[in-house]
Structure 1
Amino acid sequence: MIKFLHTRIRVADLDRTIAFYQQLGFELGDRKDSPAGNKLAFLSLPGNDHLLELCWSPDYEVAVPEDLMHTAVGVEDIVSYCDRLENEGIEIWPSGWREKFTTGGRKMAFVTDPDGYEIEILER
């Protein structure tokens, strides 16, 4: 069996990005230097095998085009999760997400990390 192990994203400030993802519920695992001289940090969500690898390089300028890619996380109660994030200063979009959740259908929202990567939040 083949397993999907991790996804790497480039970041401009490793500590700032680690702190952001920890607000989302990720836990910091290993931090190390790669053979190429990059600084790496591996984050996970409890109960998940897949890792998010953050990569910082001194000679790499991060410029994430809008809507290039996104990751997605599933939560049990999207309203309380998004309320908590919003109270911690993280912008939830689209605007008016609370009202959109009352009209039925799939409940989803988004946040954007410090480098411009989008994270989709879905209610499971």
Structure 2
Amino acid sequence: MRTLHVGLRVTDLERSLAFYTALGYEVAGEVPGTGIGHLTMLRLPGDPFVSLELVHDPAGPAVRPGTVLSHLVVAVESMSELVAALPARGVDVEPPTSPDGSADFLTAWVTDPDGTRIELVQWPPGHPDGMTAADLTG
């Protein structure tokens, strides 16, 4: 397992993009129209992997200091094994789904005791260890 990236809720996408690109982040790609908002994936120079996701949903609840974390994303080796084991460990897990309809690219969600959402991701065989710009094309 490894942490893939952190999702931050942002009020003004352009303002946040200006800030994070000024810090040195580069836009790797975007995923519009998801269930949690418009996603803009950022990476640091020379790093092929996304490390920060800006989540912008103008229709969502107001973003206040302390409420900016949208979710953590964690890569898992075997979704089926982890999903089977979590209930015995006292963790409720949503049923896995596939963003692309395949049997080997899976995501599932859990929520920590304080309400932080954690997205579990099982990459297809041969996929790099993190999210790259190639994952955001097409």
Q: Identify the TM-score tier after normalising by the shorter chain.
A: 0.3 to 0.5
TM-score, scaled relative to structure 1: 0.47
